[in-house]
Amino acid sequence: MEKINQNSSTAAIRYDAKRDFFWLFLRPWLWIPRLVEILVSISALAIVLTIQGSSKNEDIQKRIAKQILLTITNLGPCFIKIGQALSTRPDLVRKDWLEELTKLQDNLPPFPHEQALEILEKELGAPADQLFREFPKIPIAAASLGQVYKAKLHGDYWVAVKIQRPDLEFSIRRDLSIIRVLCRIIGPILPLNLGVGLDEIVDEYGKNLFEEIDYELEAQNANRFRALFSNNPAVTIPKVEQLLSTKKVITTSWVNGIKLQNKDELGGKDIDLDALIRSGVISGLQQLLEFGFFHADPHPGNMFALSGQTQGLGHIAYVDFGMMDSISNQDRLTLTSAIVNIVNENFCDLASNFQKLGFLSNEYDTNKIVPVLRKVLSGALDNSVGSFNFKKITDQFSELMYKYPFRVPARFALIIRAVVSQEGLALRLDPDFKIIKIAYPYVAKKLISGESKELLEILLNVIFTKDGILRVERVENLLDILIESAQDSDSELLPIAKTGLNLIMSNDGYILRKNLLLSMIKDEKLNTNEIKQLLRIIRKKFSPKKIAKGILKRLNPYKPNI
């Protein structure tokens, strides 16, 4: 069987759909048997699901779950990656199926240890017993692209050594070409309106999958990610051992933690699940809205719970940095604005956000979509931000895709995957989790910090109408969100007040000061009603008694409430 560059550790093959199609098409002895294998496996599973999928018998459902796992595992890395994505969605996949699918994350059959040692020696230039003080005979985990060994370098310094599966480039290249052709054939007959063809989605998936099997690129990603979180004690990123890392082998410091898979195990270790979820979501928001560089595959096998807390945030660790992506500054700011507009039910600006992000064409008249957004999103928050029903909203948006020209830009494929995986992971730990309950307070803090002119502009759009009138109720809502989201609302009052005051008195704050003054002038007359309302709210939220109480708590957090 022909295998192109399968053993080369030099220049890695990059994804090229056209090139790979012709490469495979001219080799029918490669694709015909594989196509038959794929179609037979999927058809057999489809028949079982059609006949028994709705059965209420637990034993039958367990057998189906095992067959799903076995089918996906036998089909190889490309299909396993899809199964991994499904394993993070408890709202989409039955619980008994989900338990089996989680095994796809790092509990797959390992490849022979002898092959692993051969690859390691060829890549690093020396056998394992010369490079490591201790190297086990059995991997501690096996995933879709490689398997991991827990080895010792010196003293008590343990490392994770990930060795790539043999012939991986060849099998991925072959399967992606077959999957792409199948998607081009069945895509037009499926009731989908994604704005892009299924083959384009495969292209995006293939590009990222080929990047994921380049361990040198993964090492670069890990180093960059580690630098971004260097000042965050709640997030741990392992250190890459550069001298023991190549395109097919990557060695990092070992992470002692608990995988975010088993809620009962985490509870038994006295891990605060709320603090852990909050840390995971906030770190994810930081990546998307602050750093512009994010982990696109945050499934439970790639995240660990560590002991301890820092300022109400649980300690977590990320591993496996093969699937990473970046987001532009403009997209980051537009996403921030969209979150604010959803919460404030500002549907005109939300429609503009969709256009800027590419979900609606620039030629489309947004006035036509505003009533639709109002119908779908109005009242979604009920009486509080925490009640936002994300699943209900996404389901309704899926229906809108059929009726209105919503499109999913290719650059958002991994962003959506990351957010969906993050939410699914949190739902596994807390079925009542609401992502917006954590996302909006984070965004609110960013807005009042005035870190950039762009964020200040978003804040002005939130608290002032287009006519320059101060929206007092939105200021109050913003303060309520910040105070309610704090672990200790009293002790957070002073920092919130200080941040707001710093913003007003800053050089960029002149725009805010100017708008406040202009809001007092209406029809060439002085009108202080809104300012008076604002001052009443500030006195209520930041009364001297509450501020004093917060200061005492900060000075002595163990002192009883006064």
pLDDT in tens, 500-518: 777 777 777 777 777 777 7
Residue 465 lies in a domain: yes
End-of-domain residue from the set 239, 254, 269: 254
Residues 84, 77: Cα–Cα separation, whole Å? 10
Q: What is each CA distance from 268 to 88, 256, 262, 304, 531, in whole angstroms?
A: 22, 16, 10, 15, 52
Residues 2, 6: Cα–Cα separation, whole Å? 9
Residue 166 lies in a domain: yes
Q: What would the pLDDT profile of 142-188 be if each residue is shown by its tens digit?
A: 888 899 999 999 888 999 999 999 999 899 999 999 988 888 887 66
pLDDT value at residue 6? 39
Q: Which two tokens stand for residue 187?
A: 């895509």
State whether 187 and 54 are in the same domain: no
Helix (H, G, I), strand (E, B) or coil at 548: helix
State whether 168 and 226 are in the same domain: yes
Q: How much is the average pLDDT of 403-417?
A: 74
Domain count across the chain: 3
The pTM for the full model equals 0.78
Phi, psi of 232 (to 5 degrees): -115, 100
Q: Which two tokens stand for residue 56?
A: 């209420």
Phi, psi of 148 (to 5 degrees): -115, 135
State whether 75 and 113 are in the same domain: no
State whether 83 and 129 are in the same domain: no
DSSP run (H or E) holding 29: helix 28-52
Look up the domain containing 235 and give its range.
109-142+145-254
* Comparison of pLDDT for 258 and 220, the residue scoring more: 220
Which residue, among 147, 160, 79, 64, has the nearest Cα to 110 in the 3D structure?
147
Residues 345, 414: Cα–Cα separation, whole Å? 27
pLDDT tier, 446 (very low <50, low <70, confident <90, very high otherwise): confident
Q: Examine the residue annotation and report whether 297 is marked as an active-site residue of this protein.
A: yes
CB 128: neighbour CB atoms within 10 A?
Answer: 19
To which residue do tokens 């090139």 refer? 19
State whether 481 and 555 are in the same domain: yes
State whether 473 and 515 are in the same domain: yes
Please pick, among 106, 297, 331, 349, the residue that the annotation labels catalytic.
297
State whether 160 and 222 are in the same domain: yes
Parallel/antiparallel/unpaired status of strands 324-326 and 521-522: unpaired
State whether 131 and 244 are in the same domain: yes
